[in-house]
Chain A
Amino acid sequence: MKKEPFKEKDDRLRRTRLYIPGNHPAMIQNAEIYGADSLIFDLEDSIPLTEKDTARILVRNAIQALNFGRSEVTVRINGINTPFLEKDLEAIVPTKPDGLLLPKAETEEDILFLHERITELEKKHGLPVGKIRIMPIIETALGVVNVEKIVAAPRIAAVGIGGEDLTADIGAIRTPDGRELEYISSKIIVACAAYHIQAIDTVFADINDQEGLFQATKRAISRGFQGKSVIHPSQIEVVHRAFMPSEEEIEKAKRIVKAYRESLKKGLGAVSVDGRMIDLPVVMRAERILKRAKAWKK
């Protein structure tokens, strides 16, 4: 089957996505050492209007000059209907980030507009077309309604949730266990899974409550989220620990992957482990478990 450049599967680990204000040079400079799977240099909500230009220039220069090690480099640009979007794209796309986060993504048209604009800039600057991924953040009820079309759009690698804005938009009240977002989370997770895209859970705002963060992350994992956004480096280790599979899970995953690979070699149609038939989604989940285990050891 011919590979479509904008629809390549992306199975990169994104257990943690760390927000770093784009006007905070010390945090930007130290971003490499925090150990997050993904870095989000923010030009949007954490930046006052009077510092939009400053943040844009700082982030642009930082991505060009600094090495962020193994962390994915992404930028949360300003929203589609803001006066800052165009300048953000012109400054940031040439730096070849791994991805751009689009806040308040509501429609397929939002994504297509962004996709076309990125493509134009990639061509203009002689960059390989299609490498920069789009990572929408669903923060409104309309975005939830349209998520199935959003995830089918080009370049989509991961979809995040803006819990605070969403809760406000649907008129709900935030609760410690996040039950007000259960339906929304499930809808987004299912849509993402259908297109092999990662769903990323919303932030946990209390940076002093590490046990609460751990439990919230465990709940997110059991629902099907592949990662969690974090707002402080101290949250990274906690989230990674929550994603760490148990020894039992690791052993079982090893057996599943081994059995699957052997069945491929032998050309066997069906494979079973511990008396249960194993099919592709189970194998993919097992591979994910082993990937998380390996990342924890690092």
Chain B
Amino acid sequence: MKFTANKIGRKIPEELFEKKLIPFQGKGKGPYKVRKYAPKIRMRRPGEQKILSSIREAIKAGELTDGGTISFHHHFRNGDFLLNMVCHEIAAMGLKDIRLVPSSIQGVHKEILPYLEKGIITEINCGTSSVIADAISHGKMERLLTIRSHGGRARSIENGDVEIDIAFIAAPTVDPYGNINGVRGKNACGSLGYAFPDAHFANYVVAVTNDLVPFPNNPISISQDHVDAVVKTDKPIGDPKGIVSTTLRITRDPKNLKIAHDCVEVIKASGLLKEGFSYQSGAGGTALATTNFLRDYMKSKNIKGSFGMGGATEALVRMLEDGLFEAILDVQTFDTYAVQSLLNNPRHIEIGASQYANPQTSGCAVNLLDTIILGGTEVDLNFNVNTSTESDGRIQWGMGGHQDTAEGAKLTIIAIPLLRGRIPIVVDNVVSVNTPGENVDVVVTERGIAVNPESAFYDTLLKAKHLNIKTIEELKRIAEDLAGGPPNQPKTTDRIVAIIEYRDGSVLDVIYQVAD
């Protein structure tokens, strides 16, 4: 196999599974295609019905064959049952060599593990976690895992890098003609943003629901002109408790509270926290704490921002309700409070994945962010961030909108503890790269803040004497002093099991099978 080094020095094969790979050349490059993909034209004539009696009937109607591609959204998160249901049906029908393109795979999807091992599912395109990720790390899937960001996934569907044969959309509510929303029904999940590219560009679209409502459904997130079939089933397509949380918890860990507090201090020192400020929040404990600290500060100083972007949570919605933002743009909704806000507040706006983060559009929302606070499993001396693999080389996570927001935002902050257990998080070279260092401005840990010398905010932040500024090398040294040394290098074979794409379609890195 021939390899070429990409811009960040990672060795990328020229070809894998008969597909030529483009090595990452830096942000802002591409596009590598000229036109968007065009799905098949489908027609429904007057009087024709869309209701089908079963998922099996939908699979047949969509003409899925061996080697086909199916997609799902992950707005039901760890309460999703639909992906498993469809895969069981595909297996029962004797189909094989299927490519799965969900927007994420969660722990609840461990039921499909046997299908990887049997060659029924041979390729997955998305971030994965838990049992499936572990299986792929150990070489149990025949072909590649391709890890994409949310924006990268939208791009790949819209430009035809991924052609979807059937898009299955878990629909909290849908009417008999296919108008879907995510804000009503017992499986309400809020925004259905990740399903928009699937609905608009797949060759056949099936809405599957427990809640069939009278026509016309209202509001409409995904409209009838994109939906070919509707399946109403009594088998639950989701578990409400796993879909949204009734209360997300702010961290009480003093270490993470310190990190959250320092993130806000960095934002203040940057000069960006003023009228018109825009911000994206996450839903983890530290992210919620940061959002709350920001809210208190903005209220105390009477700062009115332009927009907040979610992961929409109660914390972010309360900022909207306090008048601290003009609007929230919501591509994913995390708790019941935010779902109700999306339903009732006209300033809480649902957006699709492409509008959110696809770089190959006439302008995506991440381009307008002032600041984003992100996590990671590791950071290296070049500020490259790993979000997918642990220090032992196992795939454990996807990357969500990490890459997209890191490139789009003016100020990108990586907020991470310096140690996890006894493992240093700042290392010489991360095991695999999800976000290149050129898009990272600051790393905030509980023991110090490192500013990327290439950052536009370098001089400004170094002048802020109250910040505990250290070099990234110093942070690494502190971590290693506490842990007793750097983490062990992962033991891997020479078989590539996954590639990490950059959002433009080029390849940032590859992941090797772990050696037991």
Contacts and interface: CB of A to CB of B under 8 A. Distances in A.
Nearest to A35: B258
Contacts of B447: 32-33
Contacts of A298: 466
Interface residues of B, number: 10
B464 to A, nearest CB: 13
A234 interface: yes
B446 A30 contact: yes
B45 interface: no
Contacts of B255: 30, 33
Q: Which one of B254, B257, B419 has the greatest number of beta carbons of chain A within 10 Å? A: B254
Contacts of A234: 252, 254, 257
B220 to A, nearest CB: 44
A34 B256 CA distance: 11
A46 interface: no
A203 B254 CA distance: 18
B482 A29 contact: yes
A79 interface: no
A33 B254 contact: yes
B158 to A, nearest CB: 45
Given A234-B252, A234-B254, A234-B257, A33 B482 contact: no
A29 B466 CA distance: 23
Q: Which one of A30, A34, A298 has the greatest number of beta carbons of chain B within 10 Å? A: A30
B252 A33 contact: no
Contacts of B254: 30, 33-34, 233-234, 236
Interface in A22-41: 29-30, 32-35
Interface in A110-128: none
Contacts of B252: 234
Interface string B458-473: 0000000010000000
A212 to B, nearest CB: 17
Contacts of A30: 254-255, 446
Contacts of B257: 234
Nearest to B418: A33
Contacts of B482: 29, 66
Nearest to A207: B252
A79 B482 CA distance: 32
A111 B110 CA distance: 64
Contacts of A33: 254-255, 258, 446-447
Contacts of A233: 254
Contacts of A29: 419, 482
A29 B419 CA distance: 10
Contacts of B466: 298
Interface string B242-268: 000000000010110110000000000
Interface string B201-212: 000000000000
A85 to B, nearest CB: 31
A70 to B, nearest CB: 12
Nearest to B447: A33
Nearest to B482: A29
Interface in A155-192: none
Interface in B424-444: none
Nearest to B255: A30
Interface string A3-32: 000000000000000000000000001101
Nearest to B252: A234
A298 B482 CA distance: 25
Contacts of B419: 29
A57 B447 CA distance: 25
A32 B482 CA distance: 12
A84 B367 CA distance: 63
A298 B466 CA distance: 7
B202 to A, nearest CB: 48
B222 to A, nearest CB: 44
A33 B436 CA distance: 29
Q: Which one of A32, A34, A66, A236 has the greatest number of beta carbons of chain B within 10 Å? A: A34
A78 to B, nearest CB: 27
Nearest to A233: B254
A24 B482 CA distance: 15
Contacts of A32: 447
A90 B8 CA distance: 54
A233 B257 CA distance: 10
A81 B294 CA distance: 52
Nearest to B421: A26
A233 B256 CA distance: 12
Nearest to A208: B252
A232 to B, nearest CB: 8
B292 to A, nearest CB: 13
Nearest to A29: B482
Q: Which one of A33, A34, A236, A298 has the greatest number of beta carbons of chain B within 10 Å? A: A33
A34 B466 CA distance: 16
A32 B468 CA distance: 13
A32 B258 CA distance: 12
Interface in A197-253: 233-234, 236
A66 B419 CA distance: 15
A29 to B, nearest CB: 6
B481 to A, nearest CB: 9
Interface in B219-249: none
Contacts of B446: 30, 33
A233 B253 CA distance: 8
A29 B420 CA distance: 12
B266 to A, nearest CB: 16
A33 B261 CA distance: 12
Nearest to A30: B255
A236 B254 CA distance: 10
5 contacts: A29-B419, A29-B482, A33-B255, A33-B446, A34-B258
Given A33-B255, A236-B254, 17 more contacts: A29-B419, A29-B482, A30-B254, A30-B255, A32-B447, A33-B254, A33-B258, A33-B446, A33-B447, A34-B254, A34-B258, A66-B482, A233-B254, A234-B252, A234-B254, A234-B257, A298-B466
Interface of B: 252, 254-255, 257-258, 419, 446-447, 466, 482
In the A-B complex, the 6 residue pairs with the closest CB atoms: A233-B254, A33-B446, A30-B255, A34-B254, A33-B258, A234-B252
Interface of A: 29-30, 32-35, 66, 233-234, 236, 298
